[in-house]
Structure 1
């Protein structure tokens, strides 16, 4: 496999707790790929949410280095992207995203010859999300009249009809588009394909037949799917969920995993049918995890627990046929690994990357620790005060940044307000007992290790949020980010 195709498939919001090892998860296709490839059972994201975690995958750098986070919602062009490196080496580069953060609006299209928004039939800068989310026909009509002539009215009309009446959802549409693209493709150059599947992300709405496999005996599908799923409202104390309700939501989440696994099967079948599977390095990973009542949280903001950082990661094809690897790795290690797998010598990218190649022939040292950052609360307490009024005292404490260092046995988290947490993750994997006050020596040792890491590289200096369109803001609000 001299110049392999490369496919990077991000399963948005998929956590290791439900998927690692793959053989015990609701995802049989993922387990299949892992069994004949390489599964990294201790893979960690450097950030707990989509924007910074994808920026790290794309650039091979940590959030402090690439600067894309809640306080600066854009990936600047000061760093090369993985797509740019592949395109410069003659690869056809294609990206399909179903998460609004991962689009041209926030700087993620650089290097892609083709970049598709999964919710549009005809690719356009005009997003008609205001129409599709309107709650009654009159509101839809008013929204359509407001947006129809924003750009090309024929394209807008086609996207409106598609988003309103097309069967299936973003995952199914994405897989079908890739299948068609592969079938029509005549380019003899290899391709680099990036996919973001946004299931499972709130709201969890798997088809009934997938959800009912996991629902508790005392909960029906109709009851589970009528539960309110608004993470920011939950965090702000606007409503509550009890243990039974969280069990139902967790069942829906696992149903989404099972549904998404069938899309992975279709994607693999499409590569096989096109005659490309045997010539493809195929990587599947989570960008971050999810709290479903864990630690009192719903969603993936305001903390750095392993429920948000520990993710599945599997590589198949080329040199990746080595069973399980249990050493600590990070999702940003994917970038230099794929450059090695494709034999690409991109000096600019290799100079910037903080990742370590996981190629079996690489001479990179194994990580003794992994790091994570939450540089700015997203959304901010100020913005949620505007939505909900007075916030509970618990929530006000979230107006801070967080950084963490994790070894195989311990984890240390430090907040900008001076709060500290120390967990023995070997004996306390759920991170329930904070040992920081009782073990000052270990706390100081890991705090110093975190400082040494922070001092070891140049930090981005960008500040300020990047303006976004109203429709993008509304889509991100639907995903629980705003």
Structure 2
């Protein structure tokens, strides 16, 4: 059986129609889920940002165990990932424009697309083979001659050409610089969809795809048609292309109008994404593919706290050919259980992953969301190159009960005293365990830095 994870980066549950009071941003996916899927209304992310959540998605472990979180956002491969567990039965593909997804979690993947167009360059100072002028009459020898001799560094340029040829021959595709499939500058869904379909069409056996869609992560853009549904302002008066961190800074300083404008643009972008991914999801479901649609965290440009509910409460829909559709699950769950749930659906065993089989739960599960970060760093909660100066915060949720641990202090948010007591005991056990970190001073390429700067992680 094929499996596809669709991770809609930065999608808050309360910004979707799966919330009783939510806006009509995803009518197509909601209609499909109501008929064929299992909808979870109390799903929580393992972390408040991409690194921590994805490390748990891949391993089934807490971010404090994987060592990949906001303080050290790269994976040192201590625990096996679901990609590695499925390597003997499934051909695997990862795609995202988020550099954090490829900080070690991609080991063992058969094919990837990271949208970083110059990943093949061994020598940045030499000729880029994709920049060489081409004509329809050029032979391969003609192209090679241009690559080698036009830049003044023939040996290094030749190595760059070989590197590009090798990556293309291995199926490690590169997003064309001049022909993306999306009209909007900050949207990638059509391109991502096409790459997924291309990969699946080329696979003779079973396949597993992990797709992290960055369309809903600031900076944002949306079609004028979708903007009209949520804003009285024309598209060109909304904060198109503005980094989320910059919006958050101004909102914190009192610019509430910018926050509202950004949220309207955010909802419009969700609607565009719903329209774009629906045909792919429908086709996958009709082909009896195991499909997960979820998010790694909610929006961050209007946050007041990094562990606030709207930041870690995310949508989750599972389409499983072996389970009846149209179900709604109101029990508390955590997305750390994704690898176990997927393994149970594909192979009938848990693959050694912890957590719960989300398709079989009958009661509230314990949700642990961890936030391990350098609280002294300005701006983004993530330190791209790593920091050993970290603080361990977390949120524990089960049913109506919630206990947080913030800056060394427990905070009882809601729930009955007996339930709060149980959560606090769990929290004390977590505090007593030493959280793991990666190594400080990780190497971040120039191109990855540019992408992280655009996403708001670097000023």
| Structure 2: segments with no counterpart, 5+ residues | 125-150, 382-388
Whether 1:452 and 2:443 are equivalent positions in the alignment is no
Aligned-pair distance for 1:303?
1.8
Partner of 1:124: 120
User: What's the secondary structure of 1:152's corresponding residue?
Assistant: helix
Q: 1:458 to 1:6 in 2, by over 3 A?
A: farther
Contact 2:51 2:69 in 1 (8 A): yes
Tell me the distance in 2 between the aligned counterparts of 1:55 and 1:125: 28
Contact 1:8 1:284 in 2 (8 A): yes
1:354-369 equivalences under 5 Å are 354-360=354-360, 366-369=363-366
Tell me the distance in 1 between the aligned counterparts of 2:248 and 2:123: 29
Tell me the distance in 2 between the aligned counterparts of 1:316 and 1:354: 21
Whether 1:475 and 2:451 are equivalent positions in the alignment is yes
User: What's the secondary structure of 1:413's corresponding residue?
Assistant: strand
Whether 1:424 and 2:414 are equivalent positions in the alignment is yes
Whether 1:110 and 2:107 are equivalent positions in the alignment is yes
1:177 aligned residue (174, 195, 198): 195
2:9 aligned residue (4, 9, 12): 12
Tell me the distance in 1 between the aligned counterparts of 2:256 and 2:315: 26
Q: Which moved more, 1:443-452 or 1:67-76?
A: 443-452
2:228 aligned residue (212, 216, 220): 212
Partner of 1:429: none
| Structure 1: segments with no counterpart, 5+ residues | 129-144, 296-301, 385-397, 427-438
1:34-76 deviations in whole A, cap 9, x for unaligned? Answer: 2121001110001000011111101111111111013222112
2:345 aligned residue (330, 341, 344): 341
User: What's the secondary structure of 1:8's corresponding residue?
Assistant: strand
2:406 aligned residue (402, 406, 415): 415
2:287 aligned residue (265, 278, 284): 278
1:201 aligned residue (217, 220, 225): 217
User: What's the secondary structure of 2:93's corresponding residue?
Assistant: strand
Tell me the distance in 1 between the aligned counterparts of 2:270 and 2:444: 30
Tell me the distance in 1 between the aligned counterparts of 2:245 and 2:237: 21
Contact 1:6 1:191 in 2 (8 A): yes
Contact 2:4 2:208 in 1 (8 A): yes
Contact 1:94 1:193 in 2 (8 A): yes
Tell me the distance in 2 between the aligned counterparts of 1:119 and 1:163: 10
User: What's the secondary structure of 1:102's corresponding residue?
Assistant: helix
Whether 1:316 and 2:319 are equivalent positions in the alignment is yes
Whether 1:327 and 2:303 are equivalent positions in the alignment is no
Tell me the distance in 2 between the aligned counterparts of 1:123 and 1:412: 43
User: What's the secondary structure of 1:163's corresponding residue?
Assistant: coil
Contact 2:57 2:339 in 1 (8 A): yes
Aligned-pair distance for 1:247?
1.5
TM (normalized to structure 1)?
A: 0.75
Aligned-pair distance for 1:116?
1.4
Aligned-pair distance for 1:419?
4.3
Tell me the distance in 1 between the aligned counterparts of 2:283 and 2:441: 39
1:57-102 deviations in whole A, cap 9, x for unaligned? Answer: 01111111111013222112111111111112x2111121221111
Contact 1:411 1:424 in 2 (8 A): yes
Tell me the distance in 2 between the aligned counterparts of 1:179 and 1:369: 36
1:152 aligned residue (155, 160, 180): 160
User: What's the secondary structure of 2:95's corresponding residue?
Assistant: strand
Aligned-pair distance for 1:32?
2.4
TM (normalized to structure 2)?
A: 0.78
Q: 1:233 to 1:37 in 2, by over 3 A?
A: closer
Tell me the distance in 2 between the aligned counterparts of 1:65 and 1:155: 35
Aligned-pair distance for 1:270?
5.0
Aligned-pair distance for 1:179?
2.6
Contact 2:32 2:282 in 1 (8 A): no
1:30-41 equivalences under 5 Å are 30-35=29-34, 36-41=36-41
Tell me the distance in 2 between the aligned counterparts of 1:366 and 1:266: 33
Tell me the distance in 2 between the aligned counterparts of 1:69 and 1:312: 21
Tell me the distance in 2 between the aligned counterparts of 1:91 and 1:214: 42
Whether 1:406 and 2:409 are equivalent positions in the alignment is no
Partner of 2:53: 53
Whether 1:190 and 2:206 are equivalent positions in the alignment is yes
User: What's the secondary structure of 1:375's corresponding residue?
Assistant: strand
Tell me the distance in 1 between the aligned counterparts of 2:177 and 2:163: 12
Aligned-pair distance for 1:237?
6.4
1:259 aligned residue (248, 259, 272): 272
Contact 1:14 1:288 in 2 (8 A): yes
Tell me the distance in 2 between the aligned counterparts of 1:161 and 1:264: 19
